[in-house]
Chain A
Amino acid sequence: MKKSIGDNEIPHGWSFERGLELIKQARFDGVELWLGDVPWFQMSTTDAEVLALRQKVINAGLVVSNVSTGLHWKYPLSAREPEVRRQGIRIVERQVETAKLLGADAILVVAGLVTEEVPYQEVYRRTVEAMQELGPKAARAGVKIGCENCCSEQKFLLSPGEFLQFLKDVNEPAVGLHLDVGNIHDTGFAEQWVEILGPRITRIHLKDAMKKRGHCCDPVYTNIFLGDNNWAAIRAALVKVGYDGWLVAEMERRYRFAPDQQFYDTSAAMDRVITGRL
């Protein structure tokens, strides 16, 4: 397994190049680029500029592990407004395009957002339809779409069985699960998601969760090994299903001081997960 971390973790005010240097020094193998979340990588970023980003990543001795985005919180694929849905689709298409330019073969999508206003039954159907539209496009580009399990925040696809059924309904080989082992909280156990959805996992986000502290507020997330995830069980499940892909750190809580230290600590913790020294 290889280690990556998001460029949105780069301390505020740092340049992309300086951030890449830190990521390399902290012994990561790659970087996850977040479309729309960082100044250097926006929807308006041109292909030439994307290629320049790739060169910077290469110059730093890294590769791009995948392309993610938080834009679908604002432009859900499941929105009632057709215009919003169209923008959501366009964002995924741009993720696919940029992934190809960056030499990556996976993207992360927050697919579907249930709210008090837009109910589950609508979200499910629209999201399946959106993925059926996007799946073939991604396949043609050689890119996998990983739908993330933001269970508590999305209020959608809350269990591994439900997620499996969703992927079966989508029925597109290029659409899978971007598993976040920290997002499961008190609705289940990450290792069971790994077992049930193993071959369909495109990437894995690593973070820990304080299961007894709430459902979706900031305090619920913490650094690897500080929360309630059973890391030994998660690792065993990953070995069992033969997952040998990218592990991508997603630290939702930042160090208040010495922000660069979080990169070194996280990288070291990921090494322990990978090697099983738990």
Chain B
Amino acid sequence: MGISRRSFLDYATRLPAAFAIAASSGAVPRFSEAGGFLHAGHYRAGVASAQRCLLLNFSCVLDESFEGYRTSLQAAGLPFEITRRESSEAASFIVVPAAALTELCHAGWLRNRIAAGATALVESAGAFLSASEFRLQNSLVSSRLGVSALAPVRLWENAGRLSNIPYVDFTWPAAATIRDFSRVVPLSGVAAQPIATQGTRVVGLKRRLGAGMLVYLGSPVGPHLLTGDHEAQRWFENLCLEANRGQIEANKSL
């Protein structure tokens, strides 16, 4: 789905009232009781709690990826909460940048949230983990989220070759060409649909889990959000819209 920035902003302003109220509240960020960090856009459970967005720091190994998503969510005016641990509150959109998903409770929590109707963007930090951490993450992600990863590939080992094309091609939710981040994690998944490829490798996919949707990336997008890559920003904006659309559909089916 392609959408212009103008359309996105227009759409965002028509999100449920709680979004707008929260986004315009101008509240000073503060720590939440759950150990998280509340942002201007945070709002308490209410009429629109289904549209709640969580930015999760599950042992994020690339700070700039986390910052990229944070600034993009902020720029889009979407209310979100930053937290380091599982939240007990409902969330329609969950973003997990550069995650070292090596704890069973995290993976299980994510699965339950997605199954309940959330859209989760999980960015694998697999390429930046030790071999043992990568094996553990792969095992958890495979068993809980149905996504398998091959060993990370260093794309620039033969730097200087004319054949090096430093881009990942995304096809969903918007077509986008985004720089690689030196290493990619090839992916496969049960009943999964590829959404991003680097050459012949699938490095991004989506799959339905219960009432929700998992979007799993083997090539980080967050750092490119931080550098102002327009295609990366457009891709993420479209994903935000998809998450909202998915939640509306999930609500209808309840």
Least Cβ distance of B69 to chain A in Å?
Answer: 15
Query: Is A82 a contact of B63 with CB atoms below 8 Å?
Result: yes
Residue among B62, B128, B179 making CB contact with A119, cutoff 8 Å: B179
As a 0/1 sequence over residues 61 to 95 of chain B, the CB contacts with chain A under 8 angstroms (1 = contact) are 11110000000000000000000000000000000
Cβ contacts under 8 Å, B166 to chain A: 116-117, 119
Q: Does A253 contact B (CB under 8 A)?
A: no
- Bound-complex Cα distance A80 to B179 (A): 13
* Residues of A contacting B181 in the complex (Cβ-Cβ under 8 angstroms): 80
Nearest CB in chain B to that of A119: its residue: B179
Could you say which of B128, B160, B229 contacts A81, with CB atoms under 8 Å apart? Answer: B128
- Contacting pair A117 B63 (CB below 8 A): no
Q: Find B159's partner among A80, A82, A117 (CB 8 Å cutoff).
A: A117
User: Does B24 belong to the interface (CB within 8 Å)?
Assistant: no
Interface residues of A in 52-93 (CB under 8 A from B): 80-82
Q: What is the distance, in angstroms, from A165's C-beta to the closest C-beta of chain B?
A: 16
Q: Separation in Å of the A198 CB from the closest CB of chain B?
A: 31
- Provide the residues of chain B in CB contact with A125, threshold 8 Å: 226-227
For chain A, which range describes its interface: under 10, 10 to 19, 20 to 34, or 35 or more residues? Answer: 10 to 19
B contact patch SS: loop
The residue of chain B having its C-beta at the shortest distance from the C-beta of A116 within the complex is B159
Q: How far is the CB of B2 from chain A (nearest CB, A)?
A: 23
Question: In the complex the two chains form, what is the Cα distance from A122 to B228 in whole Å?
Answer: 9
Bits for B163-185, please: 1 = Cβ < 8 Å to A, else 0.
01010000000000001011000
Output the least CB separation between A83 and chain B (Å): 9
Asked whether any CB of chain A lies closer than 8 Å to the CB of B41, the reply is no
For A129, the closest partner residue in chain B by CB is B64
Does B31 sit within 8 A of A, measured CB to CB? no
Q: How far apart sit A117 and B179, CA to CA, in the bound complex (Å)?
A: 9
Is A275 in contact with chain B by the CB < 8 A criterion?
no
Q: With an 8 A cutoff between CB atoms, is A44 at the interface?
A: no
Answer whether A122 and B159 are a contact pair too, CB < 8 Å, given A80-B182, A82-B61, A116-B166. Answer: no
Given contacts A116-B164, A117-B159, 11 further A-B contacts (CB under 8 A): A80-B182, A81-B182, A82-B63, A115-B159, A116-B160, A116-B166, A119-B166, A121-B227, A121-B228, A125-B226, A126-B64
B residues adjacent to A (C-beta < 8 A)? 61-64, 128, 155-156, 159-160, 164, 166, 179, 181-182, 223, 226-229
